[in-house]
């Protein structure tokens, strides 16, 4: 963590803020052990959460308050704090600056400064300060999938008809999603009339694209009969391939096909030879079937 002024608190900027340059950070989660999972929670998963561990420095300053990032918070709030001291940070919200990691860290620290149960105020644009990589004890995310957003609520809150109606609206936007064990950052989801498997690849974009191109040239990109490689997202410096699947086949039945694909993909990543003509044609085709998420 960078040096701070004497007596300056963790995450606190100088009284006179400098104008922040909106520098785009293409890999905001770079350096975190579970970078692909952070990307999946930020971009692909509708309802999930995972507890975080703060650095001893933050715990000493703000107390050992449980902190949980979640995909979405009520009204797309950046953060909220509960009367019992718990802190929630919303991952899927509008980006404030060019650095998602700095935005999330600023929201988290703003919540820690807020009295339990109080309204969290987050600056519209964060000043210079720490990023997630500076304030977390890094490690694998222990992700919990949710069928609804009831975990937002304090006991008895759902008795309020207005709260219940708001919760029902939020829950209606959730499509069934299952975290798969066969590969890292891989999720099955069901949308109207079809299902998908989506996964975030850990390799650099070029290496991942070359590996997918080799598999495409070999006719090995699908997950089996009645499946289709639909394309891929580019998200925070990583690729996320997507497959179309039959909607009536349960998630558990895709574990084995995904494990086989993961093995083929790992072998393709390890291949060091330049792409041949078929691989280059496959690569051009894949480039035309990608969508960038930011």
pLDDT at 167: 82
pLDDT in tens, 141-162: 999 999 999 888 877 776 778 7
pLDDT exceeds cutoff 60 at 3: no
In this prediction, residues 279-285 reach a mean pLDDT of 97
Listed in sequence order, the residues at least 6 apart from 112 whose beta carbon sits closer than 8 Å to its beta carbon are: 58, 62, 65, 67, 87
pLDDT in tens, 37-66: 999 999 999 999 999 999 999 999 999 999
In this prediction, residues 12-18 reach a mean pLDDT of 40
pLDDT exceeds cutoff 70 at 292: yes
Name the pLDDT band for 13 (thresholds 50, 70, 90). very low
pTM, entire model:
0.90
DSSP letters for 226-265: T-EEEEEEEETTEEEEEEEE-TTS-GGGGHHHHHHHHHHH
pLDDT in tens, 145-204: 999 998 888 777 767 787 788 788 888 889 999 999 999 999 999 998 899 999 999 999
Rounded to 10 deg, the angle between the 205-217 and 255-270 helix axes is 110
pLDDT at 192: 86
Instruction: List domains and CATH numbers for the chain.
Output: 35-146 (no CATH), 177-293 (3.30.1460)
pLDDT at 1: 37
């Amino acid at each position: 963590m960078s040096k701070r002024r004497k007596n300056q608190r963790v995450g606190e900027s100088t009284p006179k803020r400098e104008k922040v340059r909106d520098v785009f950070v293409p890999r905001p989660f770079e350096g975190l052990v579970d970078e692909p999972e952070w990307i999946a929670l930020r971009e692909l998963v509708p309802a999930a959460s995972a507890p975080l561990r703060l650095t001893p420095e933050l715990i000493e300053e703000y107390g050992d308050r449980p902190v949980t990032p979640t995909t979405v918070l009520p009204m797309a709030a950046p953060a909220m704090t509960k009367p019992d001291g718990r802190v929630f940070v919303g991952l899927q919200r509008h980006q404030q600056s060019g650095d998602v990691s700095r935005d999330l860290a600023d929201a988290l620290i703003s919540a820690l400064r807020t009295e339990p149960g109080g309204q969290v105020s987050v600056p519209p644009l964060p000043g210079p300060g720490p990023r997630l990589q500076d304030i977390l004890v890094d490690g694998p995310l222990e992700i919990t999938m949710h069928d609804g957003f009831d975990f937002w609520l304090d006991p008895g809150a759902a008795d309020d008809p207005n709260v219940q109606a708001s919760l029902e609206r939020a829950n209606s936007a959730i499509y069934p999603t299952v975290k798969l064990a066969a590969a890292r950052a891989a999720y099955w989801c069901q949308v109207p009339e079809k299902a998908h498997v989506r996964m975030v690849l850990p390799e650099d974009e070029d290496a991942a694209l070359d590996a997918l191109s080799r598999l495409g040239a070999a006719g090995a990109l699908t997950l089996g009969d009645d499946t289709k490689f639909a394309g891929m997202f580019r998200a925070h410096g990583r690729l996320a391939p997507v497959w179309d699947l039959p909607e009536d086949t349960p998630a558990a039945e895709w574990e084995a096909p995904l494990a086989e694909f993961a093995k083929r993909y790992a072998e393709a990543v390890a291949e060091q030879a330049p792409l041949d003509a078929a691989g280059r044609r496959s690569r051009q085709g894949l480039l035309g079937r990608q969508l960038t998420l930011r």
